[in-house]
Every structure is written in structure tokens, then in C-alpha cells.
């Protein structure tokens, strides 16, 4: 490419162009992105790397790893998706989202290196993260898989430690119809001879078989390591060691102890030294917006990005534990490719009144008709609907709410982002 000037001058223009560049929004496979990466960074040598795959808990595990490693004084790059409010949240160095101008410069380098190769939106993001981490000289990089594992762009990098969190049904059209098919796709991030931390207490046999065939060193929650809670503290253990008097993770939700145990197991298998004091500090300092996020008010809002049945089941349990006896109202939206009936089924016995939040302009969002069919299929009365946007829907719920009610907002990252942009 002979252009002297960047293709675009601002981040918004780069992102809008990337949405239209590739003919498919999701195009799993490593061939194209690997060719571009080899041109972009021909002498690339990855820093110590943890790759995190799974259905639920990936973002929490990355946040916990990031907090513990930074508490130990390491310079950490963390790549996650999707974002809530700003694209920059996807690429963080030492906990700080990378600036617009740095991302734009990375996009320009990628654009010149691709030499006509078509890249998806996610592939551009992955290449930008790796490029920026290399230029910043991070000492550790944490890479969250976007979709699946085996064919995800993140899987270009051979992780020193692979993590697979809980596995459930999601993205069936790309990953398969059952946990066995999905487990095989997640197992694609495992590497021969390297540690693989499995955070599912009932891992699919396909995941274990693939790991054993590959020669990965599998360490499974509930078998090779586990934990026990003691009131406001907990203890972690494996076959060789035990960590006592750990503080509870600052992330709300009972599943966060599983995620924290997985993160500690990954760090214990890492080549980098890490003290118990750093682990304790990271547990206290970890922060992750959009997960059981409480917004004060009368009534309060509890916002969560849960968007599959397993995550919604955990959210329903959290509501019972956190707000016993209180009436629950729900603001709900979902993408058309999700298990909408499954999500409603997990929450229908907890919710007294539902409202549907439209997401105008989002081509992936389920239509009002699709959502009404899902509620009817679950034997529920039609929810409140007919609003122009999610804020109007939330206002209608607030008018129906009593001061001691709780409004839960869930079903989609996009809905969480819309609410946080104004109410958060």
C-alpha cells in the first residue's frame, strides 16, 4: 500500500468501516488473520500469555487475573470483548483502556499490512490488541476468546496457560447443539505439554478427551484443585499447597468463588512469581462493570449482562440471596440468535412484571414478535411492550414499582450498555 495518510482520522470512522469490510460478521478460522499478523509482526515473540475460553465467567476470570498480576507489580495487557460503553474497554494496559489515537495508529498499521486481505471486526480488534501490547512492552497478556476457541482469532497465540471456564449452550449455529460439541471447540485453546485449567465441575467428555490426546496438563476444579468458604474468608487448595484466609472476591455473585479459584490455579501454574499478598490484594481490588451491578434508587436497579440460560439461572439465584422476599420487576431484551425461551424459563418464577426493551438500530436484536412468542411459549402473560426505546420501557416499570421492589435488567450486553450510558 502506497497511501501516505491513514485511511481514517478518528476511531468512530475506523469502526464503522470495519463493520462493512468483511462479508460475514462472524467468520471463524485462523488463515486470514494469521497471514496478516505475520506481515504486521514478523518477529513477534509473545510475552507470558493466559488465554481464557468458556461460555460464562471469562470476563470475571480475566478481571481477577489482571487485578492479581497488577497487584504483584506486573505490567499487564488485557484483551476482552464485547465492551459496554466504549470500544477502548476491549484493550487495556495496566487497567487503563488504550487511547483513541493509539488504537487508530494500530488500525492503520493493520490496514497497511493486510494488503487486501479481508478481516472481520473482531479480527481487527485482536490484531490491534496484540500490536499494542507488544509496543507497550507488557510483561503478561490476558486474552479472552470471543467465540468458541479452536477457530477464534485469539487462538493464533500459543498460551502458556489455557483456561476454560464453565461450558453451556450458546452460539449454537457456530459451535454446536450440545455441550459435547461446544466443549470440543473450547478445547481448541489447549496446547501440548502446557497447563490447562478447567473451571467446569462437570466438564464435557470431549474437552477432557481432546486435552488428554493432545498431551495438555489438565487441572480440573473439584478434582485437582478446589476451595472451601469460611464465613467472610475462604481457603484454596491443590495437591501441593493451600492458601488460607483469602478475602472474598470484590465481584458479587456466588459463582465468583469458582472464578477466583480458577484464576489462582492458573497463576500457580504460571512461570511468574506471585505472592499470596498479591492474590489477596487482587481479590479485594477486582472490578468489572455490568456484572450484578447495583444502581441505587427507589427502587434500585440490578443490571447484569447475562445472555444465556446458565448465566440467567445464576442471576435468578443471586436475586433470591441478595433481595429475599422482595418483588422483582424485569427489563428484558435479547439478540435473535440467543436461547430466549431458556432465559425466560430461568427467571419466570422470580419476576412479577416484565417489560420489553427495544434496541432500535441493532440488526441483531430479537423482534417484538419473536419476544412475544417466547413469552407465550413459556405460558406467561404478554409483557409490557410498545416502547420506543429502553429508557421509555424502564420509566414504565418504575411507574409500576413500589419503593421496596427491585428492577433487574438483563438479556444483552447492548441493553446493559444503553442503561449504563444514562443511569449508571
The tens digit of pLDDT for each residue in 317-348 reads 999 999 999 999 999 999 998 999 999 999 99
Predicted pLDDT of residue 183? 87
Is pLDDT above 90 for 14?
A: yes
Predicted pLDDT of residue 181? 84
CA–CA distance, 391 with 314 (Å, rounded to integer): 25
Residue 333 is classified by DSSP as -
Predicted pLDDT of residue 21? 84
pLDDT digits (tens, 9 = 90+) for 41-91: 999 999 999 999 998 999 999 999 999 999 999 999 999 999 999 999 999
| Residue labelled with grid coordinates 480475566 | 62
The arrangement of strands across the sheet holding 225-230 comes to 225-230, 233-238, 242-247
Predicted pLDDT of residue 20? 87
CA–CA distance, 113 with 254 (Å, rounded to integer): 45
CA–CA distance, 326 with 320 (Å, rounded to integer): 8
CA–CA distance, 87 with 132 (Å, rounded to integer): 15
Is pLDDT above 80 for 8?
A: yes
Q: Where are the beta strands (DSSP E) in 132-276?
A: 140-144, 161-164, 195-198, 217-220, 225-230, 233-238, 242-247
Is pLDDT above 60 for 171?
A: no
Is pLDDT above 70 for 27?
A: no
Predicted pLDDT of residue 26? 55
Predicted pLDDT of residue 308? 92
Predicted pLDDT of residue 1? 46
Helix/strand/coil for 175: helix
Complete domains list, the chain, with CATH: 11-285 (3.40.1190.10), 293-423 (3.90.190.20)
Q: Are 14 and 101 in contact (CB under 8 A)?
A: no
Predicted pLDDT of residue 147? 74
Helix/strand/coil for 234: strand
Q: Where are the beta strands (DSSP E) in 22-151?
A: 49-53, 76-79, 91-93, 96-97, 140-144
CA atoms within 13 A on the CB side of 410: 34
Better-scored residue on pLDDT, 361 or 251: 251
Amino acid at each position: 500500500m502506497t497511501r501516505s495518510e491513514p485511511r481514517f482520522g478518528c476511531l468512530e470512522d475506523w469502526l464503522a468501516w470495519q463493520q462493512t469490510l468483511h462479508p460475514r460478521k462472524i467468520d471463524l478460522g485462523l488463515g486470514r488473520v494469521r497471514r496478516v499478523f505475520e506481515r504486521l509482526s514478523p518477529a513477534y515473540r509473545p510475552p507470558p500469555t493466559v488465554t481464557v475460553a468458556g461460555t460464562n465467567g471469562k470476563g470475571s476470570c480475566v478481571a481477577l487475573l489482571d487485578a492479581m498480576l497488577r497487584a504483584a507489580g506486573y505490567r499487564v495487557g488485557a484483551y476482552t470483548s464485547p465492551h459496554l460503553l466504549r470500544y477502548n474497554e476491549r484493550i487495556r494496559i495496566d487497567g487503563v483502556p488504550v487511547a483513541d489515537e493509539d488504537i487508530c495508529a494500530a488500525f492503520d498499521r493493520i490496514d497497511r499490512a493486510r494488503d487486501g486481505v479481508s478481516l472481520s471486526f473482531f479480527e481487527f480488534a485482536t490484531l490491534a490488541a496484540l500490536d499494542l501490547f507488544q509496543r507497550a512492552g507488557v510483561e503478561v497478556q490476558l486474552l479472552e476468546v470471543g467465540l468458541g476457541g479452536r477457530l477464534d482469532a485469539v487462538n493464533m497465540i500459543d498460551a502458556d496457560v489455557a483456561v476454560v471456564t464453565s461450558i453451556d449452550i450458546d452460539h449454537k449455529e457456530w459451535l454446536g447443539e450440545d455441550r459435547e460439541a461446544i466443549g470440543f471447540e473450547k478445547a481448541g485453546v489447549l496446547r501440548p505439554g502446557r497447563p490447562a485449567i478447567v473451571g467446569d465441575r462437570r466438564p464435557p467428555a470431549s474437552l477432557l478427551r481432546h486435552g488428554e490426546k493432545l498431551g495438555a496438563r489438565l487441572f480440573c476444579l473439584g478434582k485437582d484443585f478446589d476451595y472451601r468458604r469460611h464465613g467472610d474468608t475462604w481457603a484454596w487448595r491443590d495437591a501441593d499447597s493451600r492458601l488460607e484466609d483469602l478475602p472474598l472476591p470484590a465481584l458479587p455473585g456466588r459463582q465468583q468463588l469458582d472464578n477466583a479459584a480458577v484464576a489462582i490455579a492458573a497463576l500457580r501454574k504460571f512461570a511468574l512469581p506471585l505472592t499470596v499478598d498479591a492474590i489477596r490484594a487482587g481479590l479485594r481490588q477486582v472490578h468489572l462493570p455490568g456484572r450484578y451491578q447495583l444502581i441505587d434508587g427507589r427502587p434500585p436497579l440490578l443490571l447484569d449482562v447475562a445472555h444465556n440460560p446458565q448465566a440467567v439461572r445464576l442471576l435468578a439465584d443471586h436475586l433470591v440471596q441478595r433481595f429475599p422476599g422482595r418483588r422483582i420487576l424485569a427489563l428484558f431484551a435479547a439478540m435473535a440468535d440467543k436461547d430466549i425461551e431458556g432465559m425466560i424459563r430461568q427467571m419466570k418464577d422470580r419476576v412479577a412484571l416484565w417489560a420489553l426493551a427495544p434496541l432500535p438500530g441493532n440488526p441483531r436484536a430479537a423482534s417484538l414478535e419473536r419476544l412475544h412468542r417466547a413469552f407465550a411459549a413459556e405460558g406467561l402473560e404478554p409483557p409490557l411492550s410498545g416502547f420506543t426505546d429502553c429508557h421509555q420501557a424502564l420509566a414504565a416499570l418504575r411507574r409500576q414499582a413500589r419503593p421496596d421492589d427491585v428492577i433487574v435488567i438483563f438479556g444483552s450486553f447492548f441493553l446493559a450498555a444503553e442503561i449504563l450510558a444514562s443511569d449508571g
